[in-house]
Structure 1
């Protein structure tokens, strides 16, 4: 943000010129129009010295007055305009607010201060940044500018950056530039001194040819191994000519390096030395174990650029992305820039239209909104998020400065694509609200929150937040939350002409609870503190923190006259958590006769019917029987419910295995393979809790092996049949979704840990080998069967037409891992009941007999309607001797084999069988109906209908070849 400190009496506005120069030798795509060079951000303009003010200084209140927005859990004020006079002896504009959340405290920075607060708002310590960095060897001793602070979740440390510059043209002792860097020694720095921090000063004066440049407007990020700092370069002196971009990479050096109190290893690079558009660049803050690509990956982070890049001769804009590989090597690899088409989102052209400044209530002075530069970037779970301010050419925000967010899919880092994007219009705050200086944070659930500034002709400039959950409609954000509304109009330019705001804002995920985001930003405070040098200027900025969250409010409609196994996706607070209030659409007078709710008492192996006043809790599963004449709806949560933190559900156990009815406690999907088991001090994966013993799972043996802790398999009731999932068997990987209950079998006193890790974007089915199909969750989805690499037969036009016209669900083919493997899914339907979770096939790690991929199917709930397919194996005496939902066998004989299966129903029905699977297997298959003695060709039609004459109907599936 800052050119440098501005001294009293300088003509502030004359120094902010567009640059016209740059470095020679750089190559850009010839169909892209480069944006104008960035302006000097201007620095923290400073009044000469603190002066007695004609108006009394107004101390900030302890907390934000008035009711908080429903989506704000807590809020309090930070430092303000007048606090600089106390800490530094001067006043500064703009504040450059930025903040970070740690495990038990928050740290915020502004021009030119730093402070720490508890999460309840108590001030722990405060200092000037000049004093804070006084022990950094090589610092220039100035007031600093452009500060930022981030939380390094890999090391549980705070990291702070700020800049310094002196210029002989402005009475400086020399032309000098510094990057000042600090890292806390622990997660809880108790002071702003070297007792709690390590410091380092980087000489950031860059010589290009015969010209020296200084560093301005830092981008700031960390990954698992490095700290990344980007800066724009400008010449010293009055011209301030733009000279490109540089990236400084600092090795964390946890053992003996910078993070360990030793010497810092720093390398500076030109990421656009021969290719790319050099303008304001933001490195992406990286989240997730092992960083981008996980453990062993060579990828560091991504550099993002916008600035109004557009394709020449069009109205289509683009974002530039560069990947950094081997960041700590002497010569990191900067990938060829990717230019991602983002559509016509901005009003661009040559010359580039200026960003309009924002109106405010009570004054004709406009709030400066700056330009189109990239402002903030975050990477998490193969998604790269970025923010900027745009000038929409059409729509509700046309002609207004508007905060904009981008989401890019980086699952293939060499071919990054646009996944989603949208405006943050703020029109729910006030009509024609201008929004600007957006920042972004993304939690482990894939939900994004954006902090931003907002102002309009009918409101004062203030601080706001809006977000979107991962399953929200594309391009949208949820209603705006007020961090702190402005309370007066703002005008303060010192000796310049720009009524500056920003130049950025801060936001962070709470590292102890993914549900909460901490937003830090500025707002227009009550006017005051008139300085004698500027008698017409009385604007004062203040800052505020707010703890914001997404409301957990979801509705599930229940079918009539059925047993449903359900769970609450939110922890509902009293008094809204009783049976009567949760199921308020069902008649209370009919409870116990027409409808009822049960919980499972695993310790005593019994069901207990709840009363209307009994409470329900997230993490537990329940059975509900709905009315015969009508179903009902469950609406859970409220505007004050932020959902659930990570769930550790206690399980009752026995040495022979005790079934526990538990519930999925989140509003988003979680892959069953990501669930963990907490066994005392040990946290186990499913494979560790139920290890393989001779090809079978330890818990599935007729006498469980001593290594068995909890069964690898869970079961869910879908209204017709149990669906069994184990996290790894093709077609039975499993997803936990909102409102779902599940059975788990525990053999020791343990806790089931359902992690905060959304299944979306992290497929619950893993695809490897030569299969060309994309990884996807092979759960019960209405998707077409996909064709693997070894499927030589294409569907005919007649077959394709028949499939498209079939008025029935289409489910996914089990995605196998090797060309010689295959899987086939059988589905049965009748009278609104469907069981699609039945699998047969051949796998490399299966055997002809019971093995880890043969999943047993529990018997249906007593007195319930049911319809299910089972593979009967009463002969399997060394394992469970009964019915299975899957029957995989060893790879052999080109696929040849025969599988017996049965359809079970609570009553005779007219049933329809269907199937999805590899076309070469279907080409060589026959369906044999043992009751009617008919043989059916599965390739002739994709369904077979027959009337059952008794509750069990027997079939065989025969494969005569194919692989």
Structure 2
């Protein structure tokens, strides 16, 4: 039987069965360690029929994820968070364009849920994307959608349905474990006042098509006589384990509604061969919205980060994560800022919710920890990034700030949701959102080379522009950037844009910052010509011609007076033909961007 998207909720107190009895975690004492185990369910995505299920471009009712969650709120942290100002200075943007576009294609579009919460995992031949509440596999070379499935039990079946998942699997995330060459996916569940789960799945090789080892692990965290559920996960990895963090909100009992953050460590060894999962939990009652680092090299400990105050961010690390784990924390002083307020305007739409300044992502490489979040400076919201030297911490000493930068897009322009990573060359790639009262929300990328002045990123490059103003309010909740495991130089990013007043879509794009690793040339160099013209009928034609057929199948975006039109390269050319116009108009090549200037055409 084929299952279509349905928004049908498990009622309060109902049981989302999985046939598995799971131990509950008891973390009443700060520093306590709880251990759990969960059996595996082995499934094969190649048996799912149809391989591409009907979730794209949903036309029915849309539900805000938080409206289905139990009532929850964090305590007022204003006293701790507002710590005045300091004299440290953050860098900004240079005039130098540092990004060279590569492959790009549309990701998952509107599902019955909002916001999308997009993340990506990049393997040798595929890109996996997760959103609320779906998963999709794309061909990395062509952008072709090869597989899509609902994450909850509204699929045919749903991705996590075979481990017992109900109809509410929210805040999914994914990454590609380059140490083990596996795709890894996580999603959360909560039902009524009695059930909460962390679902995790690991592919059996570097191809997402085929066998997955799946687990549904208990996420009822006990503290001070109450049980708490897990929200807003961080998801990271290193050479030892997979790490999930999350805010703890009261599930049942009569005590505080917020219990800090949980840090769950999954020993990856049994997950790689389909043995029962083993995990440990640690709780920090003062932590919140913690993100886990995706790590390269072999860090001495797994690292985590969160915002802490208007002059500090807070790092966490777990000593001996697979033995007797202990959590240690340290504050790092950063240039002062204010927390985001007022949201971001977007042309033709209402104010976009840019969240509260929480850290969006964390990445580690070679003793350098990167993190990004939103701040309020000069009466507008701006993306802010940090590079922190971990030094010998947490074994000894302290971490220190190396450099930081703000993304000021210009007068009245707001930027938010920065997600960044470093490649093997020391290049840094970053994605973010941008909008203003006169521009629609867009996805922008930038980067820096290791030789660039401290704190600077290159000029912004637009990779996706909303086709309309957005009236959906909530955006994000996050964007994502990963490094290609094949060449270890190419960056891949995903972000949200709007394709209707309250309709979201995602865009996946790759780019280079330098050619130090031989990762690929500049696509702009392969363009022979770009021309615009207007026929006597009033039809405007835009045509892009490459020097050869190596870009056959590549998605292209051209715009007329700022309205985008998507097309695809056939052979060595791509064309749009739109009717009907009169007077003077501007035809632009938007994607790939930065390659050719606009063409002015005059129609009869």
Q: What is the distance in 1 between the residues matched to 2:429 and 2:258? A: 33
Q: Please tell me whether the aligned partners of residues 313 and 334 of structure 2 are also in contact (alpha carbons under 8 angstroms).
A: yes
Q: CA deviation at 1:232?
A: 0.3
> Which residue number in structure 2 is paired with residue 196 of structure 1?
211
Q: How does 1:718-797 map to 2 (within 5 A)?
A: none
- Pair 1:461–1:321, CA change in 2 (3 A): same
Over residues 29-60 of structure 1, what are the superposed CA-to-partner deviations in whole Å (9 max), with x where a residue is unaligned?
xxx95239xxxxxxxxxxxxxxxxxxxxxxxx
Structure 1: 5+ residue stretches without partners: 23-31, 37-68, 85-90, 169-174, 293-298, 311-316, 349-353, 393-397, 493-498, 528-537, 554-567, 578-637, 641-963
- Greater Cα radius of gyration, structure 1 or 2: 1
- The answer for the alignment partner of 2:333 in structure 1 is 341
Does the 8 Å contact 2:226/2:252 carry over to 1?
no
- Alpha-carbon distance in 1 for matches of 2:288, 2:375: 16
Residue 344 of structure 2 corresponds to residue 322 of structure 1: no
Query: Distance in 1 between the 2:523 and 2:463 partners?
Result: 27
Query: Where do 1:610-621 residues align within 5 Å?
Result: none
1:34: which partner in 2? Answer: 80
> Could you say if the C-alpha distance between residues 424 and 135 of structure 1 is closer, same or farther in structure 2, counting changes exceeding 3 Å?
same
Bigger RCO (CA 8 Å, 6+ sep): 2
Residues 276-301 of structure 1: CA deviation (Å, up to 9, x unaligned): x412111211102xx11xxxxxx221
Counterpart position of 2:553: none
Distance 1:401 1:114 in 2: 31
Residue equivalent to 1:242? 258
CA contact under 8 A between 1:552 and 1:639: conserved in structure 2?
no
SS across alignment from 2:345: strand
Gaps of 5+ in 2: 1-8, 12-60, 83-97, 527-592, 596-604
Pairwise CA distance, 1:181: 0.2
- Higher share of residues assigned strand: 2
Check 1:258–1:483 CA distance in 2 against 1; reply closer, same or farther (3 A cut).
Answer: same
1:347: how far off?
1.7
Match of 2:480 in 1: 506
CA 1:153/1:132 → structure 2, altered by over 3 Å: closer, same or farther? farther
Please tell me whether residue 547 in structure 1 is matched to residue 510 in structure 2.
Answer: yes
CA positional deviation for 1:572: 7.7
| Structure 2 residue corresponding to 1:475, chosen from 431, 455, 458 | 455
Residues 14/251 of structure 1: CA separation in 2 closer, same or farther (3 Å cut)? closer
Give 1:399's aligned residue. Answer: 379
| Shift in alpha-carbon separation, 1:576–1:161, aligned structure 2, 3 A | closer
Residue 226 of structure 2 is matched in structure 1 by: 211
The 8 Å contact of residues 63 and 113 in structure 2, kept in 1 or not, is answered as no
Does structure 1 retain, via aligned residues, the 8 Å contact 2:202–2:212?
Answer: yes
Matched ranges for 1:519-534 at <5 A? 519-525=493-499, 527=500
- Deviation sequence 1:505-524 (CA, Å, 0-9, x none): 11111111233111111101
- Residues 370 and 13 (structure 1), Cα distance of their counterparts in 2 relative to 1, 3 Å cut: farther
Once the 2 structures are TM-superposed, how far is the Cα of residue 132 of structure 1 from its aligned partner? 4.0
C-alpha displacement of 1:235 = 1.3
- Structure 1 Cα separation of the partners of residues 327 and 136 of structure 2: 36
Q: What is aligned with 2:530?
A: none
- Tell me the equivalent position of 1:889: none
Kept after mapping to 1: 8 A contact 2:387/2:404: yes
Q: Deviations over 1:460-490 (max 9, x none)?
A: 1121111111111111110111121111011
Residues 1:267 and 2:258 are matched in the alignment: no
Matches within 5 A, 1:592-741: none
Residue in structure 2 matched with residue 449 of structure 1 by the alignment: 429
Q: 1:207/1:362 Cα in 2 relative to 1: closer, same or farther (>3 Å)?
A: same
Q: Is the 8 A contact 2:320 2:326 kept in 1?
A: yes
Cα distance, 1:106 vs. partner?
A: 0.2
Q: 1:378·1:442 contact (CA, 8 Å) conserved in 2?
A: yes
Shift of 1:180: 0.6
Q: State the alpha-carbon separation in 2 of the partners of residues 544 and 574 from structure 1.
A: 18
Q: Is 2:294 the counterpart of 1:285? A: yes
Q: Do the aligned residues in 2 keep the contact of 1:19 with 1:240 (CA within 8 Å)?
A: no
Pairwise CA distance, 1:133: 3.6
Does structure 2 retain, via aligned residues, the 8 Å contact 1:97–1:543?
yes
Q: Structure 1 residue aligned with 2:74, among 2, 11, 19?
A: 19
TM-score by length of 2: 0.69
2:124 aligned residue: 103
User: What is the distance in 1 between the residues matched to 2:361 and 2:438?
Assistant: 28
Number of the residue aligned with 1:377: 362
Match of 1:360 among 335, 346, 368: 346
Contact kept, 8 Å, 2:234 with 2:290, in 1: the verdict is yes
Q: Structure 2 residue aligned with 1:117, among 130, 138, 147? A: 138
Q: For residue 890 of structure 1, what is the aligned residue in structure 2? A: none
3-state SS of paired residue (1:367):
coil
CA contact (8 A) 1:136 1:180 kept: no
Distance 1:240 1:148, change over 3 A: farther
Pair 1:301 & 2:302 matched: yes
CA contact (8 A) 1:100 1:507 kept: no
What TM-score, normalized by structure 1, do the two folds share?
Answer: 0.44
The equivalent of 1:296 in structure 2 is none
2:420–2:428 Cα contact (<8 Å) kept: yes
State the alpha-carbon separation in 2 of the partners of residues 506 and 166 from structure 1: 28
Change in Cα spacing, 1:574 to 1:399, as seen in structure 2 (3 Å) is closer
**Residue 199 of structure 2 aligns with which residue?**
180
Aligned to 1:305, the other structure's residue is in SS state: strand
Q: Tell whether the 8 Å contact from 1:459 to 1:486 is kept in structure 2 after alignment.
A: no
> Which residue among 503, 514, 517 is the counterpart of 2:491?
517
What's the Cα RMSD here? 3.3
Confirm or deny: 8 A CA contact 2:370 2:386 kept in the other structure. yes
